[in-house]
Structure 1
């Protein structure tokens, strides 16, 4: 239905409903949406059905409406991609600390290396291959990635300490002679962390500030 200025009142109402659903992750009933948006219940129902047909909204078995996958996909397209943002930062980090820097993401219950930046040095170093999978309850990368999300009842006890500190350091926890420093990357759709690993014990102190700065730079891309 066009309005006096040539816009679409129906579209504006549908967008208002979608915005209201986005404000309530636990979902709303049709009546609650109607009240919040100041619309008649029958109009609200038709709008919700249209949003459901296009997957902008979904309805659960209890009759509560939530934002659907199409809206989430649209939001993903609008935000920067984590790996695209992280790549140049990690390349610089690897040069700065002279050690392998990587992006770690939680995928399928494991800490998966999704980007690797190698230092220019030709000396001995620990390297992570792309797609490397490590446990989440051991190793700097996995612990920091878990700490990038909200607290969960079933998470390892160490994760709360990492979340509070903003970083974690480990020595020979996954590989003999390997020293690692990692920092969480909160705010992204996936649980993730910046990770640095090397063969020098000094890395635990030398890389701490650079790793935290790298995490802050990557996080700043969201804002």
Structure 2
């Protein structure tokens, strides 16, 4: 697959900056991209002119407000109603809650909420990607699709149970539970396949996690239908 180098560098810069809450220096961006600082400055300047990044007085680069505007344009109804559902799910399970969507062969995290008072936090952030066939969110999505002779045992098990449960597939010590969102016209019309669930490091009351994740899926379905 051919790519446009300048655009690729700009997108990689956005991804790199998004993972650094305290911001990054242009020199660090240059090192990350493997380019001269002058090129990194031009990339940052272009992104800044579109409001996608901003520089503080110390020269540190952070995401700009335009990124939030763009994010709200992705499945706006889901993004609007989903946040309070995830907050409640996180608090009820004392785990990190999320909504993920399928994008090609990858699973992409589009919303994350952490439980208040959660001691250990998993490195599961909005925008994170992983193979669709690994981890509870992707398996839950695959389980909503028609049966295929190529389905893995994990997918067949998730389809039979109505939820996916994984241990350490994406991060050592992490336990994930996820439920696919099905029969939602608003998502189907947009061609979006999604799942909702929780992930936590260490112990998890899996029965409660399954119950609450299913309830969250039902609530999301009702809100999106209404």
Q: Same fold (TM over 0.5)?
A: yes
Count residues in correspondence: 146
**Aligned counterpart, 1:210:** 212
Task: Report the TM-score, using the length of structure 2 for normalisation.
Answer: 0.58
**Aligned counterpart, 1:76:** none
**Aligned counterpart, 2:54:** none
CA–CA separation in structure 2 for the residues paired with 1:141 and 1:179: 11
The answer to whether 1:128 aligns with 2:124 is: yes
Q: 1:149 aligns with which of 125, 130, 145?
A: 145
The answer to whether 1:193 aligns with 2:195 is: yes
Task: Report the TM-score, using the length of structure 1 for normalisation.
Answer: 0.59
**Aligned counterpart, 1:94:** 90
Task: Show CA shifts across 1:74-95 (max 9, x none).
Answer: xxxxx97222222211111011
Which ranges of structure 2 fall in alignment gaps of 5 or more residues?
Answer: 1-74
Asked which structure has the greater CA Rg, the reply is 1
CA–CA separation in structure 2 for the residues paired with 1:148 and 1:88: 24
Task: Show CA shifts across 1:144-200 (max 9, x none).
Answer: 122233334544343233123211111111111101111110123211101210013
Which ranges of structure 1 fall in alignment gaps of 5 or more residues?
Answer: 1-78
8 A Cα contact 1:139 1:173, kept in partner: yes
The alignment's C-alpha RMSD in Å is 2.2
Alignment of 1:61-100 (within 5 A): 81-100=77-96
CA–CA separation in structure 2 for the residues paired with 1:150 and 1:89: 28
8 A Cα contact 2:166 2:176, kept in partner: yes
CA drift at 1:120: 1.1
Partner SS, residue 193 of structure 1? strand
